[in-house]
Structure 1
Amino acid sequence: MFTLQPLPYAYDALAPVISEQTLHVHHDKHHATYVKTLNELLEKAGKTPDSLEQVIRDAAKTGEAKLFNNAAQAWNHSFFWAAMSPEKQTPTGELHAAIGQAFGDLAGLRKAFVEEGAGHFGSGWVWLAAQDGGALAVRSTHDADDTVPRPGLTPLIVCDVWEHAYYLDHQNDRKGFLEAWFDALPNWSFAAGQLCAAKGQGEPWRHPPAA
């Protein structure tokens, strides 16, 4: 059984961009429901996997849409919490250099990230990801879709653009939410570790295994 992991910071730690109320609703209700449904589906199917990543890959291959959606959303949310920091950070070192190479500078990345997320039609996620070798790209995915089934692509940071992620705090201003989020919350230290993994220098983040 997979468990709902606690947030790596206090519920009020990301305010004012993400309020305490939003984090309680988002983590304790939305994320928790995905984990609960995932476990129910696995139990019904008699499956006892250790790796959530493998559940996602297998469900994508077999076309088990409900299992994929709940497994991927459980993974996406856990990654989202890890990809944020209450302390404002700045990219340094190899990550700073890779951002410059791909986007010119951090302002260029901000523009690309915000435009991709704000322009995404419907629910989904906006990612900064690295290809094998370290080349960076901004991409968005629909609904529960994520980067796990795609070999050669390592996510560095992600922002949730489902309405429940921002509506209580920003109403329908998704662009304003993304701008405020990018300026204050990305965990660039975490992203740097993910970039190293994309270059074959260490392992990328994995979801905690089933208990």
Structure 2
Amino acid sequence: MSNSDFQLAPDPFNQLAKTVVDPEEVRARLLQLHPDLTPELLARAILKGLGARNDTTKASAPTAAGGKQWFDTLEELRNLLLEKRWNPHDQRNCPFAIAPDRSISIVVMTGNAETGRQGLEDPSTAADKGAVAENYVSANRQQVLFNQAQEQQGTQVWALLYHYDKNLKEVRYELSLPTDFSKKKITGWGERLILGSIPNSPTDFTIREDVPNAPATVDVKPKTGT
């Protein structure tokens, strides 16, 4: 065999993540991950965080809006899941919510501008992450590689990733499986479930579905149940 005949197997992570956009397909995939997970539950957590962001004033610290949004998003998500017997767990200041059967765990993170939409690039986390994140991302990656031919083993850690767009005044969000870690950020995803966007109109919170390649200012049919 000549060198020209030899080809390395493609890296399954060296490409855009598998992205689910259709609302019904997203709902079905969430239920497949765990019967307790629904778009409405995740939307409630995002809405609570957005409300906290709007509670800040001119007298608040410069980082208060973002901080309050993250704290309340996380707290609401864990409270909602606690009602379903999920367990809150903190590992070295990294908070999780773990399903009773330990099949899945969820963290809350802020992402960059690519979060919550299908584009030419996948999102990355906005803030630097430490050893805890690097470890569970590595474990996710190994699970994905191992589980291509076998059933899932161990706990997968998924991220409720959101981005507040100050220009469009909306929060976009998704539930995604982190599988790549580089330069202290999560930069790759095995799968992305796009959950849409919520405009920051305190008197009229609705959720807009993501439409690939559509202008960001175009409204589409709202989801129900929010």
Larger Rg: 2
How does the TM-score come out when normalised to structure 2? 0.29
Q: What TM-score, normalized to structure 1? A: 0.30
More helix by share: 1
Higher relative contact order (CA 8 A, sep 6+): 1
Structure having the higher strand fraction is 2
